[in-house]
Amino acid sequence: MREAALVLADGSVFEGELIGADPVSGVAAGEVVFNTVLSGYQEVITDPSYAGQIITFTYPHIGNYGVNDHDFESARPFCRGVIVREMARRHSNQRAEDSLDAMLRRFGISGIAGIDTRRLTRVLRDTGAMPGAFGTISEAELQAVALAEPGTDGVDLVAQVTTPEPYIMGDGPRRIVAFDFGIKTTILRHLAELGTVEIVPASTSAAEVMARRPHGVFLSNGPGDPATVGYAVDTIAQLVGQVPVFGICLGHQLLSRALGGETFKLPFGHHGGNHPVRHEATGHVEITSQNHNFCVDPASLEGKVEVTHLNLNDFTNEGMRVLGVPAFSVQYHPEAGPGPHDSRYLFGMFAELMEAGV
């Protein structure tokens, strides 16, 4: 057992033991958030949207069904660490190819187990997501590292996770250009069912996109503060109205800013697989998968968009349709990796927009 401690920037201390890889210089630091999923820990850990963050799992028993190569949402994890109540000592599942602990070691991701995650979650709910540090150095040193951690505000994390070169998935007749702001593999699988998808770096210009003669443009999920990705906002502003556009999560926020809207940071974000969202046109409630710290201010877009979806936990904006042009976006994850499948119809809506534009 490798005894360790977690210290938050406010001085809260939690004792535990290290799992996964040994942290560099005895410490791992990042913005601490919590996720409420009951399963899907591999997809959560490998979601690039967690770049710069340490993930706390509220479910007490993690790792019981192992990991496998198919369920990776990116080539490697970008999170700063993992916090769990208890790591499974043995995994058991016919799809398992390795243990979660082995996966963490393989990619150099550190974790801490034995933590009172119920208490930690209550702290984060009361005070908001905050920087933290865990490791084997002293508690005073850990707090100093936590206080020095900048968190995710004002940091361009997209540049750290985007693809360096374009690549292609699928082979259908429709041509889709997908911006990689931290795109998940499950999203790509859904898009590839609609046509040939060319995934491009976040810095790709509007002229380069239109030169590919796309039937549609997809704006992906991704990490961090949308206000720091001004280059993407400028590009999206040039594309809206020229080609059908569909955005998810960070893509939703960037589309909003391209229309002149404002975004703000939520106290502790939405991270989980059970958030109720109302589809305003039908009144139907969808159970959704979510992972975001920032949110769109719909009042800043009055007269430019129609709000299509609303979060029933805190009544924040979850979706919109741009008035007068073929463009829409949602704040949550309809691909559901992991999560419920209630909202997968949105990919069909994107296909319909592309068909109408042919």
Strands (E) across the chain are located at 3-8, 13-20, 27-35, 53-57, 61-62, 81-83, 86-87, 110-113, 130-135, 167-169, 175-180, 196-201, 216-219, 245-248, 262-279, 285-297, 305-311, 317-322, 327-330
- Rounded-to-integer distance, Cα 152 and Cα 154, Å: 6
The per-residue DSSP string of 23-69 comes to PGGGEEEEEEEEE--SS-HHHHHT-GGGTTEEEEE-SSEE-TT-B-G
Structure tokens at 272: 């989980």
The catalytic position among 249, 270, 292, 295 is: 249
The catalytic position among 149, 198, 286, 335 is: 335
Helices and strands, counts by H and E, the chain: 10, 19
Q: Are 246 and 216 in contact (CB under 8 A)?
A: yes
The answer to whether residue 333 is catalytic is yes
* Strand-pair partners of 14: 6
The answer to whether residue 295 is catalytic is no
The answer to whether residue 249 is catalytic is yes
Show which residues are catalytic: 249, 333, 335
